[in-house]
Structure formats: C-alpha cells, structure tokens
C-alpha cells in the first residue's frame, strides 16, 4: 500500500504516482506562467474553466510575475 500524499492545491489525497504526476503538471504550469505573454492571455484562456483550477493557475502566474520583477540593489 502506497503512502497517500496531500495535494495542497485541492486538499485531496494522492498516491505517490499521482503526486509525481501532479508535480510534473505543476512544474509545467510554472514554466508557462513565467512567460509574460502567457500571463497576459491567461484570463481569456481560463474562461469557462473550473474555478478552483483557475484560481490555482492565477496564483502561480502571480508568483511567477513577482519573481520576474527586477530586484532592488542592496543599499
């Protein structure tokens, strides 16, 4: 019996295999959300999608947008 993992995004339990697959998908979402052009189109792309999924992807886009901001030089 595999140890079930908790999907922090949806609070559902996953097997190790499912958790590995989810992490690959999560990495892919982060990859695309690093692109400014993709983030700009995201609201239109998410029309009609599952609200929880849309919120999750928008959160990722926000994280990646903040990471892309130039950091201030230390004083």
Question: How much is the pLDDT for 61?
Answer: 96
DSSP single-letter state for residue 22: H
Longest Cα separation, the chain:
54
Residue 39 near residue 31 (C-beta atoms within 8 A): no
Question: How much is the pLDDT for 32?
Answer: 95
Question: How much is the pLDDT for 18?
Answer: 85
pLDDT of residue 2 exceeding 50, the answer is no
Which band of pLDDT confidence, cut at 50, 70 and 90, is reported for residue 22? confident
The model scores a pTM over 0.75 = no
């Amino acid at each position: 019996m595999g140890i079930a993992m908790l999907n922090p995004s949806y609070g559902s339990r996953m097997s190790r295999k499912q958790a590995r697959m989810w992490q690959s998908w999560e990495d892919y979402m982060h990859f695309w959300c690093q692109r400014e052009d993709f983030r700009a189109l995201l609201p239109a792309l998410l029309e009609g999608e599952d609200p929880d999924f849309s919120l999750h992807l928008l959160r990722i886009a926000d994280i990646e947008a903040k990471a892309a901001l130039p950091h201030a030089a230390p004083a």
